[in-house]
Structure 1
């Protein structure tokens, strides 16, 4: 016996009450409901899983992943943070640093600067650098190491006006920026990282240090390909998070001044005030004789933050029901600039597929 559509929808809603949350446990597995088959099916999954983009910009994306379990949704989030690779400075050879910033702090700042380069070279040419064991020599080659340099010296600007007070005009290189870092291609790197595909900082105006005449910084930098699980500087995202889709069910009409008050309980754009139409006022029901009055209508529940403010007012407690859809995840991904925000999710999907295949082989070998 198959459950009704209404029953399936009820099971899929996490109830949000004034003081508690209900129906939090997933029941989509065999044996929970007698007589119902909830075994996982690839065809059913393929037909029901959907992705809807609400915002897709180079540095920020918002999209919905619908029809998956929380464990799968969280796996994608974790892989976007920890498994999608990027470039970052790993080693700094400090030759001269007479600025006020200590060598260790300067090296740390350099390591956190995000870099970008040609995608073909990054994906197909560059490999992960393997750190040597004790006693072994470093193996820096063109396909695992990017060489950079930072050579700046602060000097007086002879062309500055006598009454000038702006230090950036008084001195040359008073401020050291990420744009001062130079890429020095070696070997085959010039084939993949030249012109528009050259290795450059994502944000050239990142401030690295401030100097005054007589101070200088000379250092060579080695950059590698890495992942966030090794160090946070390799993570391609500033944030990658998700939340469940809110649901707002108005069980009985909210009219007049109550409708205006109800609208203020939610973020802008969630609730809209509409007038009761003549047709509605003539029909039997709660709107009969209410033509022209304001009524509260849910227009965009995605904007809701589930603050429960409406449940704090006695006049709304029995008229509204709040919840969240268990299988509707709204992702927010902010890229650091090395990948487009939507590409980060696609890379996470590819990595998930690769991990699943490896796990399958391991299970098969174990069974044998």
Structure 2
């Protein structure tokens, strides 16, 4: 298995790479583990002290739950894996408070966390509008969780596609210029009555076969490379893309080890 980095954003929220030497089942398992098995921090419970806004407690709580928080995986455990066995301690939960009085729009930046490493990713996210003399006060509990249990804990969007493989059997033919122009992402270049692949744009190919349809005698052939995938990760901001990849690999390896142990137990019986 080989990995080649394609693109990485400066803010660490988007990453693209080529994964070679695996099948579709492995690629999809990796994608699902990144989305569903990598833990992040999110609000799970809210205890309201005051709420005279126009929104019910349940609506405000739902909005709070969907606010992404920066996550420190080294300082917190999943409740199911904590020494307190989920009863609640400083190792598996964090208290977040808010006290506001209108008139104002309450923003995520007004949430007060006891841990400076855990704070809203997008501080300008509006929570609720308070009119004159309306008040909102609560104590929220944030815990680690995984996207498999609720989407609020999912660290981001992960998707992949096959790397395209384009074969030009004949670079000079009657429909060559038309075939080059038909490509919606400009994968081809046409010079001196000859068509060629523009390697700078090759990975933009969507396998739409517009170029193939423009040829009368199969001069161009487009197919996916079965064992090579172009992965893209878009983080919501709780973790960097690098952290998502590392943590998903860690969880994936642990799952494989557990499976191997189960298989050994079955064979022993």
- Compute the TM-score of the two structures, normalised by the length of structure 1: 0.67
Q: 1:59 offset after TM fit, Å?
A: 0.5
Q: Aligned pairs, how many?
A: 260
Q: Aligned ranges for residues 283-302 of structure 1 at < 5 Å?
A: 293-299=192-198, 300-302=201-203
Structure 1 gaps of 5+ residues are 1-48, 132-137, 156-173, 185-192, 275-292
Higher relative strand content: 2
What SS does the aligned partner of 2:184 have? Answer: coil
Q: 1:260 offset after TM fit, Å?
A: 3.5
Q: 1:332 offset after TM fit, Å?
A: 1.0
Describe the shift of the 1:141–1:265 C-alpha distance in structure 2 as closer, same or farther (beyond 3 A).
same
How much is the aligned-residue C-alpha RMSD, in angstroms? 1.9
Counterpart for residue 37 of structure 2: 83
Counterpart for residue 273 of structure 1: 190
Instruction: Return the alpha-carbon distance in structure 1 between the equivalents of residues 259 and 243 of structure 2.
Output: 24
Q: 1:128 offset after TM fit, Å?
A: 1.5
From 142, 146, 151, the equivalent of 2:90 is 142
Q: 1:183 offset after TM fit, Å?
A: 0.7
Q: 1:139 offset after TM fit, Å?
A: 2.3
- Compute the TM-score of the two structures, normalised by the length of structure 2: 0.90
Counterpart for residue 348 of structure 1: 248
8 Å contact from structure 2 (residues 179, 212) kept in 1 = no
- Deviations, residues 230-278 of structure 1 (Å, cap 9, x unaligned): 11111111x111111112211112458x44322222233411233xxxx
Q: 1:301 offset after TM fit, Å?
A: 2.3
Instruction: Return the alpha-carbon distance in structure 1 between the equivalents of residues 230 and 173 of structure 2.
Output: 31
Instruction: Return the alpha-carbon distance in structure 2 between the equivalents of residues 268 and 255 of structure 1.
Output: 21
Instruction: Return the alpha-carbon distance in structure 1 between the equivalents of residues 80 and 19 of structure 2.
Output: 36
Q: Aligned ranges for residues 119-134 of structure 1 at < 5 Å?
A: 119=72, 122-123=73-74, 125-130=75-80
8 Å contact from structure 1 (residues 310, 316) kept in 2 = no
Counterpart for residue 154 of structure 2: 235
Structure 2 gaps of 5+ residues are none
Counterpart for residue 208 of structure 2: 307
Q: Does 1:253 align with 2:168?
A: no
Provide runs of 4+ in structure 1 moved above 4 Å.
none
- Return the index of the structure with the highest Cα Rg: 1
8 Å contact from structure 1 (residues 56, 342) kept in 2 = no
Counterpart for residue 107 of structure 2: 177
Q: 1:141 offset after TM fit, Å?
A: 1.3
